[in-house]
Amino acid sequence: MESLNPKLLEVCSRCGACYHICPACLNLEGYDPRAVIKDILAGTYEKWLNHKSIWQCLECHHCLEICFQHYGFENAMTAMRTLTAKKRMTPVQVKRGWDMFIKTGRLGEPAAPARKKLGLPEAAKSGAEDFKKIVKIYQERKESEARRQKTDGK
Amino acid sequence: MKDFAIFWGCTIQARFPFLEKSTRMVLEGFNLPYRDLDGFTCCPEKSLVNNIDRGLWVLTAARNISLIDKAGVDLVSPCTGCASNLATVNSELHLSNKEKDKVNSILKEVGLEFKGKNKLRHLVPFFHDEVGIPAIKNKLLKPFNGMRIAIHYGCHMIRPSHALKNDDPLDPQKFDNLIRAMGAESVQYMTKLLCCGQGLDRVDQHENALHFARLKLKELKALKVDAMALCCPSCYLQFDNNQNLMEKEGEKFGVPILYFTELLGLAMGYKPEDLGLDSHRIEATEFLAKWERLHGELSRTTDLNRQLEEGFGIAQP
Ligand code: SF4
Ligand code: SF4
């Protein structure tokens, strides 16, 4: 998640133009990113962590497309989801999907028997090995960065 | 045409291999220079990976893109999610040298480099722009004249538009043009651009996912369309699988869900069972029967018209 931009969010809190094109706003009771945005600006967003609303944003990008700031409600919802994940409070299915992704680099392996029955060629090789290598490097760098920030802060 | 790698993504190969079958059949039917490339992973899915770790989302997509850079080919995907995720990261990395350098400093360790020099496209706009309507019309043996088809674009075929740059994000046309080129009517309806809502099924909100499936299926049932056309495995899952679950509970919609490649394949004269239509949960029997009937009428009248025209040329009383 990129950091949130309070200036853009402040405009959001007074705008709401995308509300009427947002499929979740229009079809799911109680879903309203404007409330989340107001709480973010007021610093009282704790109650939204793992609230069912923040997982109802469909990431359809309608709000982004219609927004004159090219910003979109979804940024606020993504921020809340990332924070929820940091606190390890995600829905069960999200956790399961993430574990599979980190372990295999994919969200499911090619169904070999069904493919054979259909006469499909063998699936191309997965890049799982290289993927795991770069994930390891990425995570090590992230950790050392975090350690450095901590000591700098002291 | 430049060679391209096909990016199947996880869902098609793991859950719907018959969609891979019909895709390969039409690619081969048009003699398109596609290939399978070793080494791809999950695109990765934005709504899962970006929500948890943005850096890893960018890095994983960049690695996939660097593989086509290395092979010197374009990329086409029959999955809207894959196309959109890869294009989004591609455009973000083009905007930030800092982020690009960071990603490349890691990719270097496995002998790769992100350049982002090749085209990344979804299959539908690819057919529209690269194969083209005239070439498609040329290949049709059995068009869908008289059939009423409702298109579901799928959000990520067209959005975010700054990254995909392939159609109007709020009033898309290309899929419509293709369906019309196949002879069918593209039925316009209120919920046409509504998100499928499948994502809700991945965050422990199954009932809400069904609610979204219902919104569209109810309208299409009332409009008596012959089928829904789409080209995304998640949307397919939502409308075929979840429609079937609801039908088992007694809610009847009867809207067959056909993949773009299946429709194209049928119109090109391939058999439904070869294209994998028998793997669908919602049967397309009525659709196929109506199409057969209309096609019979169409060819009989064409034949009659030919005879009429010939007649005028020869015998003058
Ligand atoms: S992406 Fe925007 S428009 Fe779409 S559901 Fe989320 S908040 Fe609503
Ligand atoms: S995201 Fe854009 S359109 Fe939506 S409320 Fe904020 S400023 Fe308005």
Sign of CA dihedral B126, B132, B135, B140: positive
Closest residue to atom 6 of ligand 1, CA basis: A57
CA distance B148 to B297: 16
> B101 with B194, same domain?
no
Would you state the pLDDT for residue A152? 83
What is the nearest CA distance from B277 to chain A, expressed in angstroms?
12
Residue A69 Cβ < 6 Å to ligand 2: yes
Determine whether the interchain pair A23/B197 forms a contact, defined as Cβ–Cβ distance below 8 Å: yes
A62's enclosing H/E stretch is helix A62-66
Q: What is the ipTM of this complex?
A: 0.95
Who among B13, B53, B160 is closest to A123 (CB)?
Answer: B13
Determine whether the interchain pair A98/B49 forms a contact, defined as Cβ–Cβ distance below 8 Å: yes
Q: Is residue B314 part of a domain?
A: no
Contact criterion met (CB below 8 Å) for A53 and A21: no
Residue A36 Cβ < 6 Å to ligand 1: no
Would you state the pLDDT for residue B308? 83
| CB neighbourhood size of A46 (10 A) | 9
* CATH number of the structural domain spanning residue B263: 3.40.50.11810
pLDDT digit of tens for each residue in chain A (154 aa)? 578 999 999 999 889 999 999 999 999 999 999 999 999 999 999 999 989 999 999 999 999 999 999 998 999 999 999 999 999 999 999 999 999 999 999 999 999 999 999 999 999 999 999 999 999 999 999 999 999 988 887 6
CA distances for B136 relative to A39, B141, B151, B182, angstroms = 53, 11, 18, 8
Give me the residue label for tokens 């993927």.
A131
Who among A55, A107, A125 is closest to B203 (CB)?
Answer: A55
* CATH number of the structural domain spanning residue B39: 1.20.1050.140
Instruction: Report the mean per-residue pLDDT for chain B.
Output: 96
Q: Is residue B129 part of a domain?
A: no
pTM comes to: 0.95
What is the nearest CA distance from B148 to chain A, expressed in angstroms?
25
Q: In chain B, how many domains are there?
A: 2
Using pLDDT thresholds of 50, 70 and 90, give the confidence band for residue B210: very high
Would you state the pLDDT for residue B313? 56
Does residue B160 have a cis peptide bond before it, meaning omega lies within 30 degrees of 0? yes
Q: Is residue B306 part of a domain?
A: no
Closest residue to atom 1 of ligand 2, CA basis: A72
Closest by CA to B224, choosing from B189, B270, B249, B196, is: B189
Determine whether the interchain pair B107/A134 forms a contact, defined as Cβ–Cβ distance below 8 Å: yes
A132's enclosing H/E stretch is helix A128-153
Distance A19 CA to ligand 1 centre (A): 9
Q: Is residue B31 part of a domain?
A: yes
> B114 with B142, same domain?
no
Who among B20, B42, B202 is closest to A93 (CB)?
Answer: B202
Instruction: Return the ligand number nearest the Cα of A78.
Output: 1
Residue A17 Cβ < 6 Å to ligand 1: no
> B99 with B182, same domain?
no
Mean pLDDT computed over B275-291? 97
What is the nearest CA distance from A36 to chain B, expressed in angstroms?
17
> B57 with B172, same domain?
no
pLDDT beyond 90 at B84: yes
CA distance A55 to A59: 10
Contact criterion met (CB below 8 Å) for B56 and B87: no
What is residue A124's DSSP assignment?
P
Contact criterion met (CB below 8 Å) for B237 and B15: yes
Distance A73 CA to ligand 2 centre (A): 6
Q: Is residue B96 part of a domain?
A: yes
Q: Is residue B309 part of a domain?
A: no
Q: Is residue B316 part of a domain?
A: no
CA distance B210 to B164: 29
Q: Does A81 touch chain B (CB under 8 A)?
A: yes
* β B74-77/B257-259 pair status: unpaired
β-pair partners for B120: B75
> B92 with B119, same domain?
yes
Strand ranges across the sheet with B227-230: B185-186, B148-151, B227-230, B257-259
CA distance B180 to B147: 10
Who among B24, B48, B204 is closest to A98 (CB)?
Answer: B48
Q: Does A20 touch chain B (CB under 8 A)?
A: no
Distance B20 CA to ligand 1 centre (A): 30
**Which two structure tokens, joined as six digits, stand for B304?**
């009659």
For residue B306, the SS3 value is: helix
> B199 with B94, same domain?
no
Would you state the pLDDT for residue B230? 98
Amino acid letter for position B79: C
**Which two structure tokens, joined as six digits, stand for B261?**
């490649």
Instruction: Return the ligand number nearest the Cα of A77.
Output: 1
Closest residue to atom 6 of ligand 2, CA basis: A12
Residue A80 Cβ < 6 Å to ligand 1: no
What is the nearest CA distance from B92 to chain A, expressed in angstroms?
12
> B194 with B262, same domain?
yes
> B283 with B150, same domain?
yes
> B150 with B294, same domain?
yes
- Atom number, ligand 1, closest to the C-alpha of residue A25: 8
> B88 with B199, same domain?
no
* β B148-151/B185-186 pair status: parallel
> B214 with B95, same domain?
no
Distance A21 CA to ligand 2 centre (A): 11
pLDDT beyond 80 at B263: yes
- Atom number, ligand 1, closest to the C-alpha of residue A33: 7
Contact criterion met (CB below 8 Å) for B264 and B136: yes
CA distance B59 to B43: 10
Contact criterion met (CB below 8 Å) for B16 and A120: no
Which residues span the domain enclosing B246? Answer: 135-300
Q: Is residue B310 part of a domain?
A: no
Contact criterion met (CB below 8 Å) for B223 and B247: no
> B75 with B142, same domain?
no
Tens of pLDDT, residues B45-62:
999 999 999 999 999 999
